[in-house]
Amino acid sequence: MSLFDLSGKRAFVTGANTGIGQGIALSLAEAGAEIVAAGRSAMDETLGLIEAAGGTGAECRVDFLDKDAAVAAFEAAAAERPIDILVNNAGIIRRADAVDVTDEDWDDVLGVNLRTPFFLAQAFARAALAGGRGGSIINIASMLSFQGGIRVASYTASKSGIAGLTKLLACEWAPRGINVNAIAPGYIETNNTEALRADAARNTDILKRIPAGRWGEASDIGGTAVFLASAAARYVHGAVIPVDGGWLAR
């Protein structure tokens, strides 16, 4: 059996309706995993792509700003059949000068991007440990887990927190057979970056900084997620892997 074969595994992927989450869900399905595609929006497109690739998946509608609802949705899915892979991808961003950030924007971004992922990881680990199983948690970090950014104070704080949390959970759970790692995407072709790509000057500036000379695709992140969820990564714990075309190396 291939080290990268995920047949028989079940993955709970948050924010799977579009972009990076959709790419991860599809890649995991192509590797053999059954997908629970979770998010606020309909998952018709994602589930259609999974089915076309010969995989299986189901929709789970939940708002990740509501931590308790998110945990309840995960626990309900795990009660049907154990979850082997958790992908904490759902996230939001609010842009403002640091002097203008509001309490609401701060709390919303930290809630979706950091608070809920932690409690989903906690629920995953509790179930895995109670069942005597291991598993894989993959958090989605950011270039701003390493850099400061501009006008995204709450987002930078949340993604820096994800990097630290990934390491903390790895230290606690690696001895128990749970791998906790993170992926830090660079500039990826998604709906969220469409405006940047449409801005000729900004697009040129970005591409000049990327040694690979192109924007990333969601499947580039998906391939890394397959690796981290597979037996090939069984000795990988607490890593925050940049998938950025060399952006940080420049």
**Closest to 182 measured CA to CA, from 170, 195, 200, 196:** 170
Is 235 part of the annotated catalytic residue set? no
Q: In the block, which residue shows the tokens 């949340």? A: 158
* Strand 57-61 relative to strand 34-39, pairing: parallel
Q: In the block, which residue shows the tokens 């409690």? A: 119
DSSP codes, 28-61: HHHTT-EEEEEESS--HHHHHHHHHTT--EEEEE
CB 240 within 8 A of CB 248: no
C-alpha 205/C-alpha 19 separation (Å) is 22
| Catalytic residue, candidates 64, 124, 155, 173 | 155
Beta bridge partner(s), residue 37? 13, 59
C-alpha 118/C-alpha 112 separation (Å) is 10
Q: State the catalytic residues.
A: 155
